[in-house]
Amino acid sequence: MKIYFYNTLTKKKEEFKPMNKEKVCMYSCGPTVYYYPHIGNLRAYLFMDSLRRVLKYNGYKLKHVMNITDVGHLVSDADDGEDKMMKAAKRENKNPFEIADFYMNVFLQDLSKINVDMPEIIARATEHIDCMEEYVKQIIANGYTYETTNAIYFDTTKLDKYGVLSNKDVKEEDLEARIDTDPEKRNPNDFAVWFKAPENHIMKWDSFWGMCYPGWHLECSAMGHKYLGEEFDIHTGGVDHITVHHENEIAQAKGYCGKIPAHYWMHVEFLQVDGRKMSKSLNNLYTLDQLSEMGYEPAVYRMFNLGAHYKKQINFTFDAMDAAKTALSRLREGYLKHKEGTSKINQDVIKEYEEKFNEAINDDLNMPVAMSVVWDVIKNPNKSKSLADLIEKFDTVMGFDLKNYIPEKKELPSDIQELVAQRNEARASKNWAESDRLRDELIAKGYTVKDSKEGTIVEKN
């Protein structure tokens, strides 16, 4: 079946044609590990997870790299301000390497809690300084850079076109780049690839240009190239990466080998709060653990995300989280009911469900439509093991791990427990009239009553 993705590079929804028929190679921009990830950040990785799962569902093997930025990302994406790691180290009175270790582990644990299907390769920037140095040396040798007192800059005017994703003109100033602090920078869109480390800078390495550290954009270009080569299939990130980070990655790759590295560029929209992006700077964030403390397990946040297309902003509200929580319970209960069901289902019905589901996920990951097919299956009044199997298959894309779901045993209210005990006694003494009366009373209170060798089994309807 054909897959279609919206490609930011061509600004069109296009048929996905990987370079290799069996294996998809892709790169996702990972986090800068200087603070707790918030659930807005996690939306980006839930999108990445859906993409992986859909490709695997279609039979592809994956070679997927995600970086961990633990050096070089300055407070502004356009090379301005302090290094985020250094700033965090001062805030917490720690060494920046300790900061990186701590928040990287929190991030990876969050991905695990939310059941993200992990990329095959996790590439940490500080473990790839050598490959970045080789990469930048080649860009320099190819004549795409110039030196200032503090940094080596990429000269964007050397390119045929800068701004291929956002259609920026080379002469047009980037708003973020306008707040430059380096007076030696020649053009507004130029960006630093290699920084001279100030005396007090802890994260620095001996290099061809003295004690230095790499620019954030260089990290992704060099690590992507190391693992995936000059060209690969898909590159993902948040929409905030389009105008600066990904333009600069493309610029560097053109400077290195003349090629745009990925064929398909996919970007996930923001999680909003009250109409504004959830972000550390606006201080309007929640973490996964905070949500858990409030009674929303991580899978609820996954359900919340599946309710919107990745290219649409979602507004975070607790009403929506409550709805996602109810939906998750309905999904689990509905799946278990099918699992115990004995009805026979016509193969054509199953095929139709599958076709609709496949069409939705392959239409640029249209998860809300795919979920509507799941609900149709759940609501099918004929409870059947084959429909439970179908839901399990769909769950390889949804990611709720339904197969291993064990329902919590719910305590019956004390008045119901009392009626059950009385009924067991009545049955033991063969008082059938009383037993029937108690059964009717339980049914009237909204319970299903089943008799078994062990006694009366009741369940809330």
Kindly state the DSSP code that residue 375 receives in the 8-state scheme: H
List binders of ligand AMP among 275-334 (CB under 6 A). 277-279
How distant is the alpha carbon of residue 143 from its chain centre? 37
Tokens 């992986």 map to which residue?
A: 52
Give the number of residues in contact with ligand AMP, rule: CB under 6 A. Answer: 16
List binders of ligand AMP among 227-256 (CB under 6 A). 237-238, 240-241
Q: How far is the CB of 214 from Zn ion (least distance, A)?
A: 12
- Residue 75: phi and psi, rounded to 5, are -55, -40
Instruction: For ligand AMP, give the closer residue by CB, 279 or 386.
Output: 279
Q: How far is the CB of 218 from ligand AMP (least distance, A)?
A: 15
Cβ burial of 131 (10 Å; 0-12, 13-18, 19+) is middle
Instruction: For ligand AMP, give the closer residue by CB, 31 or 399.
Output: 31
Residue type, 162: Y
Spatial distance between the Cα atoms of 346 and 348, rounded to a whole number of angstroms: 5
Kindly state the DSSP code that residue 120 receives in the 8-state scheme: S
Q: How far is the CB of 27 from ligand AMP (least distance, A)?
A: 12
Q: How far is the CB of 329 from ligand AMP (least distance, A)?
A: 26
Spatial distance between the Cα atoms of 181 and 430, rounded to a whole number of angstroms: 91
Taking CB within 5 to 8 Å according to partner kind, which of Zn ion, ligand AMP, none is near residue 220?
Zn ion
Instruction: For ligand AMP, give the closer residue by CB, 99 or 402.
Output: 99
**Helix ranges restricted to H, 210-246:** 216-228
Q: Which residues pair with 122 in a beta bridge?
A: 66
Instruction: For ligand AMP, give the closer residue by CB, 18 or 40.
Output: 40
Q: Using CB under 6 A, which of 7, 8, 32, 50 touches ligand AMP? A: 32
- Which listed range, 2-10, 27-35, 258-266, 361-369, lies at the site for ligand AMP (CB under 6 A)? 27-35
Q: How far is the CB of 1 from ligand AMP (least distance, A)?
A: 29
* Closest by Cα among 337, 328, 326, 461 to 388: 337
Length of the chain: 461
- Which listed range, 162-170, 273-281, 393-401, 409-417, lies at the site for ligand AMP (CB under 6 A)? 273-281
Give DSSP secondary structure letters for 279-324: -TTTT----HHHHHHTT--HHHHHHHHHTS-TTS-EE--HHHHHHH
Tokens 């289902």 map to which residue?
A: 345
Taking CB within 5 to 8 Å according to partner kind, which of Zn ion, ligand AMP, none is near residue 32?
ligand AMP
Q: Determine how β-strand 23-28 pairs with β-strand 61-68.
A: parallel
Taking CB within 5 to 8 Å according to partner kind, which of ligand AMP, Zn ion, none is near residue 44?
ligand AMP
Question: Is residue 220 at the binding interface for Zn ion, with CB under 5 A as the rule?
Answer: yes
- Residue 173: phi and psi, rounded to 5, are -80, 140
Give me the 26-65 binding string for Zn ion, x by CB under 5 A, dash otherwise: ---x------------------------------------
* Closest by Cα among 447, 440, 451 to 416: 447
Which residues lie below 8 Å from residue 194, measured CB to CB, with a gap of 6+? 136, 151, 152, 207, 209, 212, 213, 214, 215, 218
436 C-beta neighbours (distance < 10 Å), count: 12
**Segments of 229-268 assigned E as strands:** 232-238, 262-268
What count of Cα atoms within 13 Å lies in the side-chain half-sphere of residue 387? 29
Instruction: For Zn ion, give the closer residue by CB, 106 or 220.
Output: 220
Taking CB within 5 to 8 Å according to partner kind, which of ligand AMP, Zn ion, none is near residue 278?
ligand AMP
Instruction: For ligand AMP, give the closer residue by CB, 176 or 425.
Output: 176
Taking CB within 5 to 8 Å according to partner kind, which of ligand AMP, Zn ion, none is near residue 41?
ligand AMP
- Which listed range, 195-203, 274-282, 355-363, 425-433, lies at the site for ligand AMP (CB under 6 A)? 274-282
In the bound complex, which residue of the shown chain has the CB atom lying closest to ligand AMP? Answer: 238
Taking CB within 5 to 8 Å according to partner kind, which of ligand AMP, Zn ion, none is near residue 279?
ligand AMP
Instruction: For Zn ion, give the closer residue by CB, 29 or 288.
Output: 29
Instruction: For ligand AMP, give the closer residue by CB, 196 or 246.
Output: 246
201 C-beta neighbours (distance < 10 Å), count: 16
User: Which H helix or E strand runs over 28?
Assistant: strand 23-28
Spatial distance between the Cα atoms of 254 and 159, rounded to a whole number of angstroms: 8
Instruction: For ligand AMP, give the closer residue by CB, 60 or 270.
Output: 270
Spatial distance between the Cα atoms of 45 and 200, rounded to a whole number of angstroms: 34
List binders of ligand AMP among 36-95 (CB under 6 A). 40-41, 43-44
Q: Using CB under 6 A, which of 270, 301, 357, 400 touches ligand AMP? A: 270
Q: How far is the CB of 291 from ligand AMP (least distance, A)?
A: 15
Q: Using CB under 6 A, which of 26, 271, 291, 367 touches ligand AMP? A: 271
User: Which H helix or E strand runs over 129?
Assistant: helix 129-141
Binding stretches for ligand AMP (CB under 6 A): 29, 31-32, 40-41, 43-44, 237-238, 240-241, 270-271, 277-279
Binding stretches for Zn ion (CB under 5 A): 29, 220
